[in-house]
């Protein structure tokens, strides 16, 4: 029987310590997120067969949230994200599931590595909450093993 998990148990944590050993903070008021991992595959067909060359995998984490006017010390605000993007700050990211019943931390969803915020956007519509979206782009090796 399948063990169903809610999306609310998956969190993105960011640290300016590129080893991830200290200073992990969560995204404030995160609404949703997705992790994308891909690798280009180039196929060359010849008279003696087909050959495939696989490029280095690339990964991104896209997420959205509601701007929090008073984030706690363990949360990153929209302004933090904008600052990291503007300053080209290299960061450590950890994207994983929390414990849920018999499912241990990171056993359903797990990705870590270093990279940069490649985009941040804020939306302030009349009659709605101030919301943001952002993309974290990994540079280098992405660890997907717990």
The pLDDT-based confidence of 146 (bands split at 50, 70, 90) is: confident
User: What pLDDT, on the 0 to 100 scale, is given for residue 70?
Assistant: 94
User: What pLDDT, on the 0 to 100 scale, is given for residue 1?
Assistant: 72
> Right CATH number for 7-138 from 3.90.1690, 1.10.3470, 4.10.410, 2.60.40?
4.10.410
Strand partners, 27: 76
User: What pLDDT, on the 0 to 100 scale, is given for residue 39?
Assistant: 93
CA dihedral over 101, 11, 23, 19, signed as positive or negative: positive
Q: pTM to 2 decimals? A: 0.91
For residue range 33-67, what is the model confidence (pLDDT) as tens digits?
999 999 999 999 999 999 999 999 999 999 999 99
Q: What is the mean pLDDT of residues 117-121?
A: 97
Parse the chain into domains and list their residue ranges.
Answer: 7-138
């Amino acid at each position: 029987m399948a063990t169903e998990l809610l999306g609310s148990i998956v969190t993105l944590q960011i640290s300016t310590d590129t080893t991830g050993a200290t200073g992990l903070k969560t995204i404030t008021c995160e609404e949703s997120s997705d992790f994308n991992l891909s690798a280009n595959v180039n196929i060359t067909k010849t008279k003696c067969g087909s050959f495939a060359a696989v490029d280095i995998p690339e990964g991104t984490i896209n997420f959205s949230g509601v701007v929090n006017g008073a984030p706690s010390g363990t949360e990153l605000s929209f302004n933090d994200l904008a600052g990291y993007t503007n300053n080209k700050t290299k960061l450590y990211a950890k994207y994983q599931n929390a414990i849920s019943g018999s499912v241990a931390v990171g056993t359903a969803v797990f990705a870590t590595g270093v990279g940069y915020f490649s985009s941040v956007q804020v939306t302030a519509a009349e009659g709605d909450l101030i919301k943001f979206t952002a993309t974290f782009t990994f540079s280098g090796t992405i660890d997907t093993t717990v």
